[in-house]
Structures are given as C-alpha cells and as structure tokens.
Amino acid sequence: MSNNTRRHFITKTGALMGALLAAGMISGSAFAADFPTAKVNTTKLAVTDTTVKVGILHSSTGTMAISETGSIQAEKLAIAQINAMGGVLGRKIEVIQEDGASDWPTFAEKSKKLLVNDKVATVFGCWTSASRKAVLPVFEKENGLLFYPTFYEGLEQSKNVFYTGQEATQQILAGLDWIAKEKKAKTFYLIGSDYIWPRTSMKIARKHIEQKLGGKVVGEEYIALGDTQFGSVINKIKLKKPDVIYAAVVGGSNVAWFKQLNAAGLNSKKQNMLTISVTEDEVLGIGGENLEGFYSAMKYFQSLKNPNNEKFVAEFKKMWGPKSVIGDVTQAAYLGPWLWKAAVERAGSFDVDKAAAALPGYELKTAPEGYVKVDPNHHLESKLRVGKWLANGQAEVVYESDLIKPDPFPKGYQ
C-alpha cells in the first residue's frame, strides 16, 4: 500500500512539475552554487549539493489517520510545488515519511529516528497535542525543527517548534464576540470531549463569557472520547434553553452528537450553535444536512474567495482527486513547508538555530487563508472566520475578524 501510494505520489508530482514547467513558472530560483554546502550546513544535516532531506511525521494508520491524512497531503503538495520552483537554496526537497500510528510513544521514537539517524533539516508533523507533547523533548534535546499544523490549546512555546494553526485565544475570543453581538446571546452551554484541548478552550471561553461579555454559562459538560450517546445531555440542554451551544466535540462522538441533536429536534432553526471542532473534513462524516445552519469558528474554510485559495484548492484537487476536501488544519499544514523555505532563505542556511531565528517577522502573502505573519512567539498572526454550514458540506463565511496576534499564555484566562 505504501509503495503504491509513493508511486502514485511520484507520478502525480511529476505531472504537476511538468505542468508547472510548461506554464513557465520556474523563475528566479537560487542556484545551489551560490550557497556552498559547507556554508549553509554547519550542523551535519542531511543536505547535499543538490538535495535536502525533510521529515513528515503523521499518523497514516490508527484512529488519527482520519484527521492526519489531509495534513500529509497538503505538506506533500507544498513540497512538490517548492521543488517545481527549484527547491530551497537550489536544493530539491526529499521527503522521509514516518508513521506515528496514532500512538504517542511511536511519535517520540520516530522523531528521534528522523533527527538522529536521518538528520533531516526539518519535520512537518504531529496533529494531536498528545503527540506534540511526546515529541517535544526529543526536538529540544536534538535541536530539531518542527512545524505543527493543528489549532490547539496554547500554553506552549518552544524555540524548536513553529505553530501554524491557531492557539486557543485566536480561535475562541473573536468567535464568541461575534455570536454574542450577532445573536444577542446571553446564555451559553459549553460542551466538549474530555481531554486537554476542549477543557482548556472551555476554561478560556467561560472566563470570556462571564467577564468580558457579561453573559452566563448555564452548563458545562465533557463527553468521554468515543462516546456516542447524547440523549441525557440533549435533554439537559432542552431544559436549560441556552441562547448558544458552544461545542468542541471531536472524533466519532462529533458525528453522533450532530445526528442525535437533529433527531431530537434541535436543529439550527431552533438552536444557535458555534463549534470550534468542525472543519470540512468532519462534515464528510457528519453529513451537511445535519449541520446546516450551525456555525464554525476557524481561520480557514475551503470556500474562501481569494486568488491564493482558488489556486490552492485547484492544485490540491488535481493532486489528490476531485472529491478531496480541505479543512482548516490541512491549510495550516500547507503553510509549513512554505514557512520553512522562507526561514532557510532568510537565514541563508539550513542550520536549525539560524533558520528558526530568521523566521519571526516574516509575512507569507501567498497563504490560501490570505495573509499570515510569524510572531516572535513562533505562532502565526492570522484572522478568524465564522462559517455557516450549508447542506452541501461547504461553509459560507459570514464573518471575518481583523488580524489577531497570537497569545499562547493569555493573562486573565488561566
């Protein structure tokens, strides 16, 4: 299977490169001769005169494969595009892909393999916070570089990691402000899966609702991961009649949650809901008809209308099939290789310390989400969008915030 995929990938990459060549898009790329290997690689990374090795570390098997597949695809697309433009400092990127298998110790072991044995210049990978926490000590000890794509709970900052998704305050605050104003919401019911990301997010949401918005939290509830029975919870919600349900339910539970909500008569005509855990990927499983009219707060939706995104969506579909959908994290994963390329080129070196130091302040204007800027705290400055789900599984963007500075350690919210 993996061989087959790789062959598939190479064929498609070849086709894509051919297309790009034909379109005459290769321009102004740096020549390797201008950057002698001895100079751009002083830390014995896997860099030759013509190639540079990077790692992709996601789960392609196990529970998390559902979510992480999109990230792998986006990273491979970005790398193929960068190679078609002449690579990084004149060197073609070679990918070493490892499978974290949805198992956190495996992630740690594979990251060690990538950094110590393969000497990769950077790694694009991890999805859950648990996997990131597992590899973090390895990256710090071996001085590796990681680009992490998922929106997450914040409360972390490392010189070895760049976070291309949003941290909690970027995703939560503006969305709550919007729905409180738009729907004149006063009462909120918080519900999430029972692990660190929803719990941290709900803590921030509760503080914001009670202190900044003057609203009231009428219920806060956590569901065991994988639980599919929501009867009692839905009845409680019906009794409390909140203006807004604020939801962060993930995985298989997510589908059950929306299906049962609809079956119990709580559809968007009767109930407002803002969720921070539904992207286009999840909609495939939930079914657009069960979500119609509910809102998601994300930084990216596939339906975003701008030239960067239209090009990105077209090329993603060309490489991975017309039926593929692109969610928030997939787009964030796509930014990783581009940001790394910028870091290396700004530093004029593949060395991790130099590249990491060169990246803050960089503005990526070709991002599908529009524009992002790398903050000194290694997170991205980005916008928040609220999307209203349509029956066809796409979202209509109904609100777009200003650029929001990342704040992984928010004061007053802990």
Partner 1 sequence: MFDYSMAEIGNIVVMQAFSGLSLFSVLLLMALGLAIIFGQMGVINMAHGEFMAIGAYTTVFLSKVAETYGIVNYYFLFAIVIAFIIAFIIGYIIEFALIRHLYKRPLDTLLATWGLSLVMQQIFRSTFGAKEVSAVLPEWLMGSFQPTPDIDIPINGVFVLALALVVTVGVYIFMFRSRWGLRVRATVQNRVMAGAVGINTKKVDRVTFALGCGIAGVAGAAFTTIASTGPTTGSLYIVDSFMVVVFGGAASILGTIASAFGIAQAQSILQFFMTSSMGKVATLMVIVGILMMRPEGLFASKVRK
Residues at the site binding partner 1, with contacts judged by CB under 8 A: 1, 60-63, 65-66, 69, 194, 220-224, 226-229, 231-236, 238-239, 252, 255-256, 259-260, 262-266, 281, 284-287, 289
Instruction: Report the candidate in 234, 231, 236, 246 with the shortest Cα–Cα distance to residue 187.
Output: 246
Q: What is the smallest separation between the CB atom of 68 and partner 1, expressed in angstroms?
A: 9
Which residue, chain included where needed, has tokens 């992984």?
408
Please, which residue, 81 or 271, has the CB nearer to partner 1? 271
The residue type at 30:
A
Contact between 335 and 371 under an 8 Å Cβ cutoff? The reply is no
Q: What is the smallest separation between the CB atom of 139 and partner 1, expressed in angstroms?
A: 26
409 CA to centre of own chain: 19
**End-to-end Cα separation, the chain, in angstroms:** 46
Q: What is the smallest separation between the CB atom of 131 and partner 1, expressed in angstroms?
A: 16
Q: What is the smallest separation between the CB atom of 398 and partner 1, expressed in angstroms?
A: 25
Please, which residue, 37 or 61, has the CB nearer to partner 1? 61
Please, which residue, 226 or 361, has the CB nearer to partner 1? 226
CB-hemisphere CA count at 13 Å for 164?
33
What are the tokens at 74? Answer: 């986006």
Burial class (CB in 10 A: 0-12, 13-18, 19+), 303: middle
Please, which residue, 51 or 61, has the CB nearer to partner 1? 61
Please, which residue, 26 or 224, has the CB nearer to partner 1? 224
Please, which residue, 390 or 403, has the CB nearer to partner 1? 390
What are the tokens at 69? Answer: 């597949």
Written as one string, the DSSP assignment of 167-230 is -HHHHHHHHHHHHHHHS---EEEEEEESSHHHHHHHHHHHHIIIIIS--EEEEEEEE-TT----
Q: What is the smallest separation between the CB atom of 267 and partner 1, expressed in angstroms?
A: 9
Q: What is the smallest separation between the CB atom of 259 and partner 1, expressed in angstroms?
A: 6
The residue type at 331:
Q
Please, which residue, 43 or 61, has the CB nearer to partner 1? 61
Q: What is the smallest separation between the CB atom of 69 and partner 1, expressed in angstroms?
A: 5
